[in-house]
Amino acid sequence: MKKVYLVGFMGCGKTAIGKRVSNFKKMPFYDMDIEISKQTGMTIPQIFETYGEAEFRKMETDFLREFPDDFCIVATGGGVAINEENRRLMRESGLVFFLDATFHDIWRRIATDKNRPIVQRSTRQEMEQLYYDRRPHYLEAAHIRVETRGRSLGEITKYISYQIDRLKGDF
């Protein structure tokens, strides 16, 4: 079995769902942002401030190229799928789930989060535009789209786990 990637806009639940699927399936879980922070010794806001977004995006691609663990769940950063190479790397090395949450639900979760540099420097309208700009990339990256609206974390976890079992020989 290869990696299982969770993609989607910031605040869609990638980390929360990834941890639950990890526990349910007894697979290691990694949060890409946390792993990059460990590698650099910096928080994501510090990386953005020191090196800029372009360098951070390069770090995401490097992570996808070099991360050694195959049997795991990876919660990606919200912008990882905007890069064509990242989409290709994920699709070739694992099974990609797009956690498709509404902007309304996402905004409730991220509006006051100080650890999201893009949110802190943007208006609600700019964030909504970014959400709609990125959405086609998430759809292109994904093998499976997971509608999160009206579903509990438990329901989403069971659905993703079922899909992993169903497709494990195919990826």
Bridge partner list, 29:
73
What average pLDDT does the segment 32-49 reach?
Answer: 93
What backbone torsions phi and psi does residue 159 show, to the nearest 5 degrees? Answer: -65, -50
Residue 1 — very low, low, confident or very high, per pLDDT cuts 50/70/90? low
Residue 88 — very low, low, confident or very high, per pLDDT cuts 50/70/90? very high
35, 67 contact by CB (below 8 A): yes
Q: Is the pLDDT of residue 106 over 70?
A: yes
- CA 163 from centroid of its chain's CA atoms: 18
What average pLDDT does the segment 78-106 reach?
Answer: 95
pLDDT for the residue numbered 56: 94
* Domain coordinates in residue numbering, the chain: 3-167
User: Is the CATH number 2.60.120.10 carried by domain 3-167?
Assistant: no
d(C-alpha 141, C-alpha 104), whole Å? 23
Residue 116 — very low, low, confident or very high, per pLDDT cuts 50/70/90? confident
Q: Is the pLDDT of residue 26 over 70?
A: yes
User: Residue 69 has what DSSP assignment?
Assistant: -
Q: Is the pLDDT of residue 169 over 80?
A: no
Q: Is the pLDDT of residue 115 over 60?
A: yes
pLDDT for the residue numbered 164: 93
pLDDT for the residue numbered 21: 97
Q: Which two tokens stand for residue 159?
A: 């659905």
Closest CA relative to residue 66, chosen from 15, 140, 19, 3: 3
pLDDT for the residue numbered 131: 97
Q: Is the pLDDT of residue 85 over 80?
A: yes
pLDDT for the residue numbered 65: 94
Where helices occur in 41-123 by DSSP H, the ranges are 44-51, 53-66, 84-93, 103-110, 117-120
Q: Which two tokens stand for residue 143?
A: 């093998």
- Residue 74: enclosing H or E segment and its boundaries? strand 73-75
What average pLDDT does the segment 99-117 reach?
Answer: 89
